[in-house]
Amino acid sequence: MKVTVMNTAQIARKTWQLTFTGSFPYGEVQPGQFVMIRIGSGTEHVLRRPISIAAVKEDRLTIVFRVVGKGTQWLSERKPGDGLDVLGPLGKGYPLPHTGAGVLIVGGGIGVPPLYLLAERVRPLVQQLDLALGFQTAADSFWIDQFASLGNLVPAADDGSFGKKGTVIDAIKLLSEGRSPKSRPWDYVYACGPLPMLKAVKQHFAGHKVQGYVSLEERMACGVGACCGCVCQTADRTAAKRICADGPVFDWNEVAL
């Protein structure tokens, strides 16, 4: 699909947001889904880059990305009015909680963006929404006010430069301690971030009666389930799941982390 860049902005260290408009099935987007973006004409860069959908409103869609290589560098150089070739929405997103459920959302670093759309969709369904978001430093953090407006946010920074000093696990502990005895226990935990963080979160809730969902990442070629480039293994390690088509969001008991 050919879309048009509306605006871009640098929002944190090496981190940009980009909003596009134009023909795209905005109404179909589920939180946790992603788009595959063509870089340049596609001859020099033959593989599209997978980027999560951070926000979607009527006829516009926003992504947030960190510049880590040539593709994301090119994306950060787009100007309003430039064309983009995007494929999507792709993959399976986060299943929404039942009405009145207790929900905890956990994000780390550049895994945080898709959790914004998730939080927006979860908010009207639940009484209380808790959010634990971790960043390396204050300079890497973004969209803090937006997240804070949707729920009870505890940010964390590894270096203590803002929020709770430490990891998202420390933020989760703080949230647990601060909960009033009347509030509903967490029924759902939704997480996105680096693999060690996902493991730690699952580990933290071992033995708890929560339904956990994680979003996984792998280098992709087709992005639609055809090439088997992006697989992970099922929890029993006997079969493969394609992250792009069977995920990127999985029940954390379903896959080997």
Partner 1 sequence: MKKPDLSVEIAGLRLRSPVMPASGCFGFGREYANHYPLRLLGAVVTKAVTLKPRLGNPTPRVTETSAGMLNAIGLANPGVEHVVAHELPWLAKQDVPVIVNVAGETKDEYVEVVRIISQSGLAAAVELNVSCPNVKAGGITFGTDARILQDLVQTVRKVCTIPLFVKLSPNVTDIRQLALAAQAGGASGLTLINTMIGMQIDIQRRRPVLANKTGGLSGPAVKPVAVRMVYEVAKVVDIPVIGMGGICSGADAVEFIMAGASAVMVGTANFTNPRACPEITAEIEQFMIEQGINSIAEIRGCIA
Ligand X SMILES: Cc1cc2nc3c(=O)[nH]c(=O)nc-3n(C[C@H](O)[C@H](O)[C@H](O)COP(=O)(O)O)c2cc1C
Binding footprint of ligand FES on the chain (CB under 6 A): 220-223, 225-230, 242, 244
* Omega before residue 248 within 30° of 0, cis: yes
| Residue 92: strand pairing partners | 248
Is residue 164 within 8 Å of 170, Cβ to Cβ?
Answer: yes
Does 43 participate in binding partner 1 (rule CB under 8 A)? Answer: yes
Residue placing its CB nearer to ligand FES in the complex, 36 or 172:
36
Q: What character string, x for contact with ligand FAD (CB under 6 A) and - otherwise, covers 40-79?
A: -------x-xxxx----------xxxx-xxxxx-------
Residue placing its CB nearer to ligand X in the complex, 151 or 229:
229
CA dist list (Å): 256 to 72, 87, 239: 29, 28, 10
Is residue 97 within 8 Å of 125, Cβ to Cβ?
Answer: yes
Residue appearing with tokens 């640098």 = 10
Residue placing its CB nearer to ligand FES in the complex, 86 or 220:
220
Does 227 participate in binding ligand X (rule CB under 6 A)? Answer: yes
Residue placing its CB nearer to partner 1 in the complex, 96 or 240:
240
Query: What is the nearest approach in angstroms of ligand X to the Cβ of residue 47?
Result: 10
Residue 72 binding target from ligand X, partner 1, ligand FAD, none, CB below 5 to 8 Å by type: ligand FAD
End-to-end CA distance of the chain: 33
Query: What is the nearest approach in angstroms of ligand FAD to the Cβ of residue 2?
Result: 20
d(CA 150, CA 198): 22
Does 221 participate in binding ligand X (rule CB under 6 A)? Answer: yes
Does 256 participate in binding ligand FAD (rule CB under 6 A)? Answer: no
Query: What is the nearest approach in angstroms of ligand FAD to the Cβ of residue 3?
Result: 16
Contacting residues toward partner 1, per CB under 8 A: 38, 42-48, 71, 87, 218-233, 239-240, 245
Chain residues in the site for ligand X (CB under 6 A): 221, 227, 229
